[in-house]
Structure 1
Amino acid sequence: MPGIVHVVDDDASYLTAIQQVLEASGYRVATYASAQQLLDQQPDENKGCILLDVRMPGMSGLELQRRLTERGSTLPIIFLTAYPDVSTTVKAIKAGADDFLIKPVGPDVLLRAIARAIARHRDARELDGELEALRSRLSTLTPRQLQVFQIIVQGKTNKHAARELGNAERTIKAHRRAIMDKFQVQSVVDLVRIAERLGVLGAKDEPDATA
């Protein structure tokens, strides 16, 4: 299944029409007559997106967006409105909305927007997972290995690292092998890329540690 689409709109006939279009395209659909209903349900963060009306009785679409963000939700939001205005659009996009569509929306336009939103969300989650795995591996480095890592990703030689840290060159080579094993890479180029992703490229050395 391509994902779950959460549709929030106070217009019951519109909810029914949207649900039929989406289910015919293979989506699972959850409908909500108010923003509060979705907030109470706490939808699954793993996949899907939210189609959200801007103007509704009670909590508005923008307010729901704000509250979901406060809860740490990363589900992409596509706003739908029959009453567009620049100020609302800007607020929604600045707050992280994935798209802003004007009713009535043709099925093709809607389906393309949903597919883009779900794909971006999936890609972002995969990147977050990869980054978390790299952070976990970084945390397994000993203090000395971290120093060696920070030196070699700057393009410095084993000899330079040995001189800077007061170790024998063979000790630096052993640390370097251990670092590559922990990160599961084969080259310094790979380590440099990892350092860039982790934001530690060019970081200052930690205080001296024993080998």
Structure 2
Amino acid sequence: MSLNPVVHVVDDDDALRVALLRLLNASGHEARGYASTGEFLLHALPPDHAGCLLLDVNLPGPSGLELQEVLLQHGCTLPVVFLTGRADVASGVRAMKAGAVDFLQKPVHRESLLAALERALAKDAAQRALRDESRELHALFASLTTREREVFDLVIAGKLNKQIADQLRTSERTVKTHRAQLMLKLGADSATDLGALAERLRRTG
């Protein structure tokens, strides 16, 4: 299976879909086409595969907007660029509120389309990088013992070793040992590093 990002083109207009696929392939993108939301759900790559969706609003069966909602409900965060043959402010607002990258009207200019897809792919890459960072950080923190985590929380709160020892009712020497161990596990060299790790963990959720 290709590891390259894939642009999924979902449009029931066969001629337009083929033209879009040719354009995207000629522009260096890997693209796959589907005539309906059902076909996409049946044959698309796993939802964790990198890429984005170029999605027609009006489709036979479930609409593009409905597909966007279903994907979000199932935790699939593939960025969406919508295409529509009819200008519809309400649909555009609904799509953008749900996180669409852009809402383009047919016939779409080549430059506008490619620019929107580049933004969508960049958004996807950023989301994936953030999720990878979150998994790595949670794995690091999961390696800490309960006492090491307690020491960590007090260190980033600005407590000195003696204050931590008093609060945890243990010796300062024991606190230093726990502190050294947790810093080793987290790859940190200072309390400042620990604070930065805590902020990254908070940011990534």
Q: Same fold (TM over 0.5)?
A: yes
Match of 1:43 in 2: 45
Could you tell which deviates more after superposition, 152-161 or 95-104? Answer: 95-104
Match of 2:199 in 1: 196
Is contact 1:76–1:117 with CA below 8 Å preserved after alignment?
yes
Is contact 1:47–1:122 with CA below 8 Å preserved after alignment?
yes
Is contact 1:8–1:33 with CA below 8 Å preserved after alignment?
yes
The question of 1:30 aligning with 2:32 is answered yes
Q: Match of 2:178, SS?
A: helix
Is contact 2:5–2:49 with CA below 8 Å preserved after alignment?
no
Match of 1:175 in 2: 178
CA 1:25–1:114 in structure 2 vs 1: closer, same or farther (change >3 Å)? same
Which of 62, 66, 69 is the matching residue for 1:63?
66
Which of 130, 139, 142 is the matching residue for 1:139?
142
Q: Per-residue displacement from partner, 1:54-80 (whole Å, max 9, x unpaired)?
A: 011211001111111222212111111
Return the offset for 1:111.
Answer: 0.9
Which of 79, 85, 96 is the matching residue for 2:82?
79
Is contact 1:54–1:60 with CA below 8 Å preserved after alignment?
yes
Q: Match of 1:50, SS?
A: strand
Q: Per-residue displacement from partner, 1:147-204 (whole Å, max 9, x unpaired)?
A: 101100011111110111112112111111111111112121121122123239xxxx
Amino acid at match of 1:128: R
TM-score normalised over the length of structure 1? 0.89
The question of 1:111 aligning with 2:110 is answered no
What is the root-mean-square deviation of aligned Cα atoms in Å?
1.6
Amino acid at match of 1:119: A
Cα distance between partner residues in 1 of 2:102 and 2:188: 38
- Between the aligned residues of both structures, percent identity stands at 44
Cα distance between partner residues in 2 of 1:154 and 1:80: 50
Return the offset for 1:2.
Answer: 5.9
Cα distance between partner residues in 1 of 2:59 and 2:44: 19
How many residue pairs were aligned?
200
Amino acid at match of 1:94: K
Which of 17, 20, 23 is the matching residue for 1:21?
23
Deviation beyond 6 Å, 4+ runs, structure 1: none
Is contact 2:55–2:80 with CA below 8 Å preserved after alignment?
yes
Which of 157, 161, 181 is the matching residue for 2:160?
157
Could you tell which deviates more after superposition, 37-46 or 23-32? Answer: 37-46
Q: Which runs of 5+ in 1 are unaligned?
A: 201-211
Q: Match of 2:82, SS?
A: strand
CA 1:115–1:2 in structure 2 vs 1: closer, same or farther (change >3 Å)? farther
Amino acid at match of 2:202: G
Q: Match of 2:23, SS?
A: helix
Is contact 1:2–1:26 with CA below 8 Å preserved after alignment?
no
Match of 1:207 in 2: none
The question of 1:186 aligning with 2:167 is answered no
Which of 2, 12, 15 is the matching residue for 2:14?
12
